[in-house]
Amino acid sequence: MSQLLYTTQAWSRCMSLAQRCSSMRNLRATHAVFVTSGVHLNTYAVSKLIAFCALSDSGNLPYASLLFEQTQTPNLYIYNTLIRAYYRSSEPHLAMYYFHLMLKQSGLEPDNYTFNFVILGCVNCSCLVSGKEIHSWVVKNGLVLLDAHVQTALVRLYAECKVLYDARKVFDEIHQRDVIQWNVLVNGYLKCGLASEALEVFREMLVCGFEPDDFCVATGLAACANLGALWQGKWIHEYVKKRKELKSDVFVGTALVDMYAKCGCINLAVEAFEGMRKRNAVSWAAMIGGFAAHGYATEAFHCLDRMQVVDGLRPDGVVLLGVLMSCTHAGLLKKGKSLLENMKTQYGIVPKHEHYSCVIDLLCKAGQLEEALQLIRRMPMKPLASVWGALLSGCRVHKNVDLAELAVEELLQLENKDSEEEAGAYVQLSNIYLGARRNEDAVRIRKMIGERGTKKTPGCSMVEVDGKVNEFVSGDVSHLHRAQICAMLELISADLLQD
């Protein structure tokens, strides 16, 4: 049939044109030749055009969908191409659409590629229900035991949707694991705020004889940073030194800088930073962030200059935020205000909400509450909770009740506030009333908190002792060595009083 519609020469010409496509302009011209030659009726030929539109950096995904609609009998390759393209796009839910369309209209059986792509589509649109539906399909087709990509996608689905019990269950059912699957599980625990569990899985990976890659090592170091687990972070550093490819890796080096800085060892962070053979903007941001957290504003500004001169890198918004934070910690009001005002002209960076929030916090700590309010009013975007929270904290320190009431009122009017932010605002306002000796107002606020059932998450701190991370939660008395800890704190307090 196809031989009656087009000649061998036409086929060869069309295939050659499709292979040479480098832009959508080329592709549209090639598509026109396909139509005039009759080659557009051949499913295999059209699949070449769809693949370029859907997967090429120069492609156009809506045009790929248009070509699909004009194809009489799309094959499995075409469906897989569109599902793959859409799961990576800004509309990942359309991967599910084409998957269901394939099942309903084509009679085609999905293969391992189909399942891998559609599960990742569920991951990217956080659609757990659809993901579980696909999981049941996978089990029926026996692919869980056969295809590593599908297995990894399932672990990622449950990890990204924060269903870690199911992520671990799928992971444990994999007979031949690979490093990527370990990476996904470790990262899943870390993203859910379970740094201790992430570190435990990292250790388990090493015990099982797997060599972690750069991504997994960086994730392990991030877990140490979150926990303040210096000893364990140093152990990973020693492991890195034994592997040449990790020692020179920019992501691992950056993770080391961040870990040491967050564990309170700024000198070791500097040592790790200076030892890096190659640095990127994230590396400089980590070092500047470390200096900021430790109050070394001069060093942060020095880094800002060095990254441009030494590595030829222009600072981005994250780097400049780190420098602003250093001003906040060091109380450099003039420098912080100047940097915010000159960000666009000097660095080509338009200040975002977090930059304004940082300077507002700086103004509040300096007692410049009215100026902070004026800056809030001038912000080109709607102030979020962090801004009003900074003003509220400043009001508590400097005992400004009127502005505190305004800040709470504005904070409670925000659309995206959560119950914890609301509870925190009320607690702060109650404390401000107490500080101003307005006891009746303080009691009224506390009573309102109780009536609404509003709860604030208890404060939590962690400290590493002999390689073990100890966690302390406000109001919790269950720690095994609580009596000894309290006794030691009393001794320290007594010594401080004597001094």
Q: What is the pLDDT of residues 17-67, one digit of tens each?
A: 999 999 999 999 999 999 999 888 899 999 999 999 999 999 999 999 999
pLDDT score at 384: 87
Instruction: Band the pLDDT of 94: cuts 50, 70, 90.
Output: very high
Reply yes or no on whether the pLDDT at 133 is more than 50. Answer: yes
pLDDT score at 399: 83
pLDDT score at 348: 94
pLDDT score at 52: 96
pLDDT score at 3: 44
Mean of pLDDT values over 347-360 = 95
How far apart are the C-alpha atoms of 201 and 171, rounded to whole Å?
11
Please state, as a whole number, how many other Cβ atoms lie within 10 Å of the Cβ of residue 324: 29
Mean of pLDDT values over 175-194 = 95
Which residues neighbour 337 within 8 Å (Cβ) at sequence distance 6 or greater?
359, 362, 363
Reply yes or no on whether the pLDDT at 497 is more than 70. Answer: no
pLDDT score at 10: 86
Better-predicted residue by pLDDT, 407 or 63? 63
Q: Where are the domains of the chain?
A: 384-472
pLDDT score at 231: 94
Residue 418 DSSP SS3 = coil
Of 199, 121, 198, residue with least CA distance to 153: 121
Mean of pLDDT values over 360-377 = 94
Reply yes or no on whether the pLDDT at 430 is more than 80. Answer: no
pLDDT in tens, 291-339: 999 999 999 999 999 999 999 999 999 999 999 999 999 999 999 999 9
Which residues neighbour 316 within 8 Å (Cβ) at sequence distance 6 or greater?
281, 285, 349
Mean of pLDDT values over 381-390 = 87
Instruction: Band the pLDDT of 469: cuts 50, 70, 90.
Output: low
- Give the mean pLDDT of the chain: 88
What is the percent of the chain where pLDDT is above 70?
Answer: 85
Instruction: Band the pLDDT of 481: cuts 50, 70, 90.
Output: low
Better-predicted residue by pLDDT, 453 or 333? 333
First-to-last C-alpha distance (Å) of the chain:
100
Instruction: Band the pLDDT of 1: cuts 50, 70, 90.
Output: very low
Q: 419-435 and 401-412 are packed helices; what angle lies between their axes, rounded to 10 degrees?
A: 170
Mean of pLDDT values over 72-88 = 96
pLDDT score at 451: 62
Residue 473 DSSP SS3 = strand
In contact, 172 and 157? CB cutoff 8 Å = no
Better-predicted residue by pLDDT, 255 or 435? 255
Which residues neighbour 376 within 8 Å (Cβ) at sequence distance 6 or greater?
356, 360, 383, 387, 388, 391
pLDDT in tens, 198-242: 999 999 999 999 999 999 999 999 999 999 999 999 999 999 999
